Amino acid sequence: MSIQSLKKATLVGLTEEKASILDALQTLGVIHVIPLLAPQKSQVKLEHQVSPEQLHGVLHYLLNSKQKRKQVVSERHFDLLEVTDKVDQNRSLRLKLVERHDFLRKRIKDLKPWGSFILPEEGELYGRRLWFYLVPNYKMKEVVKTELPWQSVHRDNRYCYITVISETEPPLNAMPVTRTHTGAIPLEQLQRELEDIEVELETVEAEREALTRWIYLLQRSIAGTEDDAQLAEISGQTLDRDEIFAIQGWVADDNIASLQHFADLHSMVLQLEVPKSDELPPTLLQNPTSVAGGEEVVHFFQMPGYRSWDPSRVVFFSFVSFFALIMSDAGYSLLLAAILLFYWRDMERTETGLRLRAMGVALSVAGFVWGVLVGSYFGAQAPFVWLQGWKLMDLNDFDSMMLLSISVGAVHLILANLMMAWVRRGSTRMYAALGWAGSVTVALWGWIAGFEFLHWLLLTACLSLVLLFSSEKSEWSVGRFFDGVLALAGITKIFGDVLSYLRLFALGLASASLAMTFNQLATDVAAALPAIGLLFKVLILLVGHLLNFVLTVISGVIHGLRLNLIEFYNWSLADEGYAFQPFAKREVSPWIT
């Protein structure tokens, strides 16, 4: 179990020292705050008036600039509010100019075939006006038949540009198409405006480029800005009573000593309570970095409840295994390892990066080992004779691969139900989970060995546990019996879930088959074209295997996660929790005692 045990901590201190205490508590970063009071809007305003969202938007705008200036690292001339205001003004002006620029380009493009003209003033044509129509060439026969005075001013391979003179707009049936709106502004004037806007856009882009010199200091300000926002929010969630205030939160047992020391240092009262049965504390997972990649997956999909179990390690090893079965190629695994090695140092900058790097190593190693066992190296046989002796399985042996896939799925769901039984220990519903685990075990055994009377007897006994102990009702009744009957309907679901693991075999076979197809295609092209065929062969191999590698990795990630987060989660987790969010600073600053 890697779900940390928590206690409810209540700290009481002097109101006059509240600001400094909360700042120090945020630096300590060990409690998940429980709001004692709904925050007021006036209480959560930031003193520097720059929100984290605004700062992120400003940075995103500057980072997208094509050219960047040398970074300023000294804060002597840096004013966060002033810089963010300038960037916001520049961004707003640029957006307005770009919108007008795009409109003018579209308008000029549409008007060019009509030529540059100024619409006559009212009365110049004796009460008549000009009406414009963009007529497809194949409809010009209908225009010729009309009695309206018209003139073609331009023609291309698709349209004929027609001008009609009339006192009022011609009726809809008089022309084969609806009227085109050219606007009253002449083409030359639009072109001059476009030129002015392009000059102004260059000026705005130059200002944007100049503002990029503050990117480094803005990035450094993100953590402080978010810390201030969180501090202001938490400050509005404490319970204040005259001279004292109270803050409450959840703390891990491992951090109780640090919190007690903090309370003594700031002359505060600390009260610790065990979570009550009707309380739902947050879930704090703790796993070694080597297997914590599974924790990242769990955080992404569904956080287990506090009183449940941590599936991180099971998800880690099963995902790695599923990915290897889907890839089924030692050469692709080495390519994945090469990509991982390229980003090795970049991934060690964050804790998440370290966790994903460890998972990447596991994926590469597992994929290589399984690729060696099935004897696939970029869809070809082993390049060395001694490697061929390591081939123990054949992907084209459908019976063996189906047996392996079904067995993997059955074991995975057996483990899921055993963990569900452990979570429900002390409740009679535990026996229902054990019944499902036993049913899958007996069914797998019977499928492999051939069903006999003993298998049917054991399967009936296991399903009887499901029938009798699936209800939440404690007393025996007709309602409890019907709950058990409904639970037995899960037979079709668990059967379908086990069969769902056949995708491991199907995707692995598809990847290997596609790799062999590209190899054969490249060989055939080289043989058919002796001269230039070698070049085509290399191109087919590079493009084909790169495409297959990308598809294989995508399939391994999607279906590996699916089997864990849908099939496995459905049978192993009874409730959903929420993550432990420490009240902590994002800036790295030691707490001085």
pLDDT value of residue 438: 95
pLDDT value of residue 238: 92
In whole angstroms, give the CA distance from residue 42 to residue 54.
19
pLDDT value of residue 529: 86
Whether residue 48 has pLDDT greater than 60:
no
pLDDT band at 587 (very low <50, low <70, confident <90, very high): low
Percent of the chain with pLDDT over 70: 97
**Mean predicted lDDT score pLDDT of the chain:** 89
Find all residues with CB under 8 Å of 486, minimum gap 6, and list them: 470
pLDDT value of residue 590: 36
DSSP 8-state code for residue 275: P
CB 281 within 8 A of CB 250: yes
Most confident stretch, 92-106, 109-123, 161-175:
92-106
Nearest to 313, CA basis, from 287, 331, 342, 339 = 287
In whole angstroms, give the CA distance from residue 383 to residue 391.
12
Q: How many CB atoms lie within 10 A of CB 541?
A: 19
Q: Find the mean pLDDT for residues 62-85.
A: 90
CB 451 within 8 A of CB 442: no
For the segment 281-315, what is each residue's pLDDT rounded down to a tens digit? 999 998 888 888 888 888 877 889 898 899 999 99
Whether residue 591 has pLDDT greater than 90:
no
In whole angstroms, give the CA distance from residue 153 to residue 136.
14
For the segment 327-368, what is each residue's pLDDT rounded down to a tens digit? 999 999 999 999 999 999 988 888 888 999 999 999 999 999
The alpha carbon of residue 109 and the mean position of all alpha carbons in its chain are separated, in whole angstroms, by 40
- Of 81-85, 101-105, 151-155, 470-474, the poorest mean pLDDT is in 470-474
| CA R_g for the chain | 35
Whether residue 43 has pLDDT greater than 60:
no
pLDDT value of residue 257: 95
Whether residue 113 has pLDDT greater than 50:
yes
Backbone angles phi, psi at 11, to 5 degrees: -110, 135
Percent of the chain with pLDDT over 90: 56
3-state helix, strand, coil in the chain (%, to 5): 60, 10, 30
Helix (H, G, I), strand (E, B) or coil at 529: coil
Helix (H, G, I), strand (E, B) or coil at 466: helix
- In this prediction the pTM is 0.74
In whole angstroms, give the CA distance from residue 593 to residue 290.
33
